[in-house]
Amino acid sequence: MRCRPPDFSRRMQTFSPAALLLMLHLLHVPVSGQTNGRAVDPLSLPRPSLRATRISSKIHIDGLLDEPAWQRADSTDGTFWQVIPRQGVPSSERTVVKILYDDKNLYIGAILYDPEPDRLVAAGLEQDFETRASDIFGVALDTYHDRQNAFLFAINPAGALFDAQSFNDQAFINRAWEGVVHVKTAILRNAWTVEMAIPFTTLRFHETLDEQTWGINFSRRIRRRSEDSNWAPLPRQFRVYKMSLAGTLTGLSGLKQGRNLWIKPYVSGAMKRTPALSPAAARREMNYGLDLKWGLTPQLTLDLTLFTDFSQVEVDEQQINLTRFSLFFPERRDFFLENEGIFNFSDVRIRNYRTGSGPQNFKLFHSRKIGLSADRRPVPIVAGARLSGRMGDYDIGLLAMQTEAALGLPAENFTVVRLRKNILTNSDIGVMFTNRMATGPDAGGQYNRAFGLDANLRLFRNLIVNSYFAFSDEPGARGADRSTAALQLAWRDPLWNTSVLLKSVGDFFNPGIGFVSRRGVRQVFATLGAHPQPRLPGVFELNPYIDVNVFTNSAGNLESREVRSGLGVRFLNSSVLSFEYSARLEHLFQPTTFAGVEVPTGSYRFALAKISYRSDSGRRLAANLSLATGTFYDGARTSVTGSFVWRPSPHWYFNGSVQRNRLRLAGRTVDADLYGLRFRYGHDTRTFLSGFFQYNRTTDEFISNVRFNFIHAPLSDIFLVFQESRTLGSGLARSMLRDRLLTLKVTKLFAF
C-alpha cells in the first residue's frame, strides 16, 4: 500500500541538504575572526589557578562578603571568557570569585558586577530551578582532580540553588543529587553577590592527602544578553563541567570529612480511596522507615533504605503514543537517581551530539522496574542497599532491593552489579550484571538475568566511540537470539557534528530490570550536521542537518526507513526557529493499532513537515509552538503542540501545554489530545506550593497532583500531597473517581 505525499512534500524533496551545508561552510566565520581579530581560541589560553585561604574567623552567610577574611583572600582577576554569543571574547561584565575554608566548610564568594541590577532574571526560588531561564553564578568542583567527575552548584540572584553531579567529563549529569549547602545572595547598586558554605561532609575527596589540588571552573550567565561565560575558557560545544579543561584550586590542606554518616527517618500517614476496590470508605495507612548514608571511604558510599516511601514524588505525566513501540517513562525517585551515572549502561545521548539512539531506547538497568508495576502503580519496597563510588581507577556500583508481593506480582529480589575502569584519562570500559528473581513459597523458580560489556572512549577531544554487548537469560529462552550489540562513532567540534550508529537487538533479548523499545531489529543510523556562525543580523548560529535511519528485522527484511533533513536557527536572544522534513517507509508485518485505530498489514510511505519556534526563555512570558502536517500510514496527520511559561515574579511560575493530534487512519478521523497545567508558588527558598493537572482526551482521564513542601531543616521536609485520578465521561459534573490519595510525610536528616 502506498500513500502519495501532498504537493508541499514533493516540492521539499528538491531541497539539497548537502548544498546547504556547503553554502553555510563558506559563510562560516573562523573563531579567530568573529570579533575583528579580538577573539582568541579558548584552547590556546592557559588554564587558570586560584588559591584557597584557610581561616580561623567565623563567616556569616548573608550574601554580603563583608568579613575581613574576604578582603585577604586570593581572587580571580575579574575576566571570564565568553562561550555565547562571542566565543573567545572577554565577558561584558567583571566577575570576581574568592575561596576560603576552615575545618568544616568550603566558602565561595562571588561579586558579579552589573550596571543594571534591576534587570536581573531569577527563574524561581525552588531548588533545581530552570538555569537556562535565569541569571546564574555556577561552580564545578572536581574534588578528586581526576578531570572527569564533578559536583555542580548554580545560584540565581534570588538565592535559589541548583545542585547536581556530572560524570565522565560531561557525558552524563545527574540533576537529582542533593547536598547540604548554605547560600545567600544580595543585590547591590552595581552588582549582585553570592556567599555560600559547602560542608566538607557534602563533598567527597582524598582525605588521606594533606595537600590537595582540585579541579574547578566558574560560570556566569547574563540572561537578558544571552551571554554565557566561564573562568577557564571553553569551546562553545562544552559546558562548565567539562573538567578536562577546568582550572585548578590550590592551597587546601588538612581537610577532614568526619564520620560521613547521615540518617534520615520518615513517618507518613495516608488516606486512599479507590472505588473499584473499596467503594464504601477510604483506607487509612501509617508508614515509617528510614534512609541511611555512610561514607565508608572518601570515595565509597553505602546507602541503606528500609520500608522505602516515594509518596512525595509527583505523578507521571501522561504521554501520547503515535508509534508501535513501548513508551519510556523517566525515573523520578531520589534514591535511584543518586549516583545514577555509575549504573548507566545504555545507548548514549550526549549533550550537543546528534545520535541515533539514547537511554529512552535502551537501558540495561532501568530502576523504574523496581517498586513499580507495568501500569506504574507502586509496589512496596521492604529494604534496599546500594554501594557506589570509586576504588582507585574503578567505578563500583552494587544494588540490592527486596519488594513485597502485591498487585499480582510475587515478592522479588533485584540485584545489580556495575564495574567500570577508567582508561586513557577520560575513557572507560565496564561490565554489568542484573538479576531479577521471584522469592517466597510461590516463586516457582522465576528469574531473569542480564550481562553486558561496554566501552566508552573519548579520543582527540572531539571523537567519541561507544560500544556494548549484552545478553539476557530466563526460563524457556535458551538457544534463542537473546543478545544486543552496538557501535557508535560521533564527532563534534565548533563547526561539524556527525555520527554513525550500528545496532542489533535480538528477538528474545529481554533484560528484566532494563528497558528496550524495539526488539528483533538491526539499525543503521548516520547524520551530518553543521553549526556555522554566519554574519546575519540577530543570528547566533545555524544548524543544518540530515539524518538517515534504517531498521531491518532479524531476517534482513527492511522494516522501516526515515530520511530527515532540517535547519535550526538560533538567535542571539536564545530563541530558536526550526524547520524539518522527514520521509518515512514503514512495513507492517501484522495489523497495528495507533490511537485506537487498527492499521492493516502492508507497506506505507508517508512524509511530515514540521516548523517550530521556541522564544527567549529569559522573558517573563515565554512560549514554544510547533506545527506538523503530512501523511501518516494510509491517511494523514496534523499535530499542533504549544506551551507557555509565565513567571510574573521569582515567587510564581505557571506552565500550560497543549498537544493536539488529528489523525485520519483506515477511513476514520481520531483526535489524540493532551492538555496540561502546572503552577508553583515559592514563598521563600524553603516553602513551596505546587500543582500539576493533566487531561488525556484519548483515555478520558484527568489527573491532579497538588503538593505543599516546607523545608524545616537542611534536606528535611514536610510534605502534604493530594493526588487524584478520574474519568470525566460527559464532563466534570458526571466524572467518575478512579482513585484519590492524601498523604502527609515528615522527614528529618541527622548528620554525624
Residues 6+ apart with CB under 8 A from 42: 81, 83, 87, 88, 233, 234, 235
Residue 278 backbone dihedrals phi, psi, to 5 degrees? -145, 85
CA distances from 234 to 174, 553, 583, 738 (A): 21, 43, 37, 53
| Amino acid identity, position 540 | F
| Residue 51, in any domain of the structure | yes
What is d(CA 708, CA 722) in angstroms, rounded to the nearest whole number?
9
Mean pLDDT of 560-576: 93
**26 has pLDDT over 60:** no
What's the chain's length in residues?
752
All cell numbers assigned to 274: 479507590
Mean pLDDT of 157-179: 84
What is d(CA 713, CA 372) in angstroms, rounded to the nearest whole number?
30
What is d(CA 605, CA 586) in angstroms, rounded to the nearest whole number?
7
| Residue 383, in any domain of the structure | no
Residue 534 CA, chain-centre distance (Å), reads 31
What is d(CA 82, CA 92) in angstroms, rounded to the nearest whole number?
8
- For residue 350, give the nearest of 169, 130, 487, 162 by alpha carbon: 169
**35 has pLDDT over 50:** no
pLDDT score for 351: 64
pLDDT score for 80: 95
Mean pLDDT of 480-505: 92
**621-632 and 635-649 beta bridge pairing:** antiparallel
| Residue 126, in any domain of the structure | yes
Highest mean pLDDT pick, 23-32, 529-538, 625-634? 625-634
CB 516 within 8 A of CB 504: no
CA distances from 587 to 502, 518, 561, 584, 665 (A): 20, 15, 9, 10, 16
Mean pLDDT of 594-609: 91
> What beta strand segments (E) does 120-187 contain?
136-142, 150-155, 161-167, 172-174, 182-187
All cell numbers assigned to 167: 560524570
Mean pLDDT of 112-140: 92
- For residue 724, give the nearest of 332, 267, 282, 280 by alpha carbon: 282
Mean pLDDT of 209-216: 92
What is the CB neighbour count within 10 angstroms for residue 96? 17
| Residue 77, in any domain of the structure | yes
Mean pLDDT of 666-691: 92
What is the CB neighbour count within 10 angstroms for residue 360? 16
> What beta strand segments (E) does 231-356 contain?
247-253, 261-273, 283-297, 300-308
Encode pLDDT of 340-382 as tens digits: 778 989 987 776 677 878 888 899 999 989 998 888 888 999 9
pLDDT score for 317: 77
CB 259 within 8 A of CB 751: no
Secondary element (H or E) of residue 7: helix 7-12
Domain that holds residue 223: 40-253
CB 462 within 8 A of CB 244: no
CB 634 within 8 A of CB 666: yes
Q: Peptide bond preceding 90: is omega within 30 degrees of 0, i.e. cis? A: no
Q: Assign 146 a pLDDT band (cuts: 50, 70, 90).
A: confident
| Lowest mean per-residue pLDDT among 109-123, 229-243, 293-307, 322-336 | 322-336
- For residue 484, give the nearest of 518, 517, 454, 509 by alpha carbon: 509
| Residue 180, in any domain of the structure | yes
Q: 21: which DSSP letter?
A: H
| Residue 709, in any domain of the structure | no
CB 56 within 8 A of CB 107: no
The pLDDT > 90 percentage for the chain reads 58
Mean pLDDT of 108-130: 92
What is d(CA 397, CA 419) in angstroms, rounded to the nearest whole number?
6
CB 359 within 8 A of CB 349: yes
Q: Is 512 helix (H, G, I), strand (E, B) or coil?
A: coil
All cell numbers assigned to 403: 519488594
| Residue 332, in any domain of the structure | no
CB 401 within 8 A of CB 411: no
pLDDT score for 734: 65
Q: What is the largest CA-CA distance in the chain?
A: 80
The pLDDT > 70 percentage for the chain reads 93
Mean pLDDT of 710-734: 84
Comparing 258 with 515, the larger pLDDT belongs to 515
Q: Is 301 helix (H, G, I), strand (E, B) or coil?
A: strand
* Helix residue ranges per DSSP H, 44-197: 68-72
| Residue 125, in any domain of the structure | yes
CB 113 within 8 A of CB 93: yes
Mean pLDDT of 635-648: 94
CB 483 within 8 A of CB 338: no
All cell numbers assigned to 120: 536581573
CB 232 within 8 A of CB 245: yes
Buried b / exposed e over 399-425, threshold 16 CB at 10 Å, is bebbbbeeeeebbbbbebbbbbebeee
pTM of the model: 0.81
**62 has pLDDT over 90:** yes
Q: For the chain, what is the total number of helices (H) and then of strands (E)?
A: 4, 43
What is d(CA 334, CA 311) in angstroms, rounded to the nearest whole number?
12
In total, how many domains does the chain have?
1
**49-51 and 247-253 beta bridge pairing:** parallel
- For residue 588, give the nearest of 574, 576, 599, 573 by alpha carbon: 599
pLDDT score for 16: 41
CATH of the domain at 155: 2.60.40.1190
Q: What is the 3-state secondary structure (H, E, C) of 362-415?
A: EECCCHHHCCECCCCCECCEEEEEEEEEEECCEEEEEEEEEECCECCECCEEEE
Residue 8 backbone dihedrals phi, psi, to 5 degrees? -60, -30
CB 484 within 8 A of CB 515: no
Q: Assign 702 a pLDDT band (cuts: 50, 70, 90).
A: very high
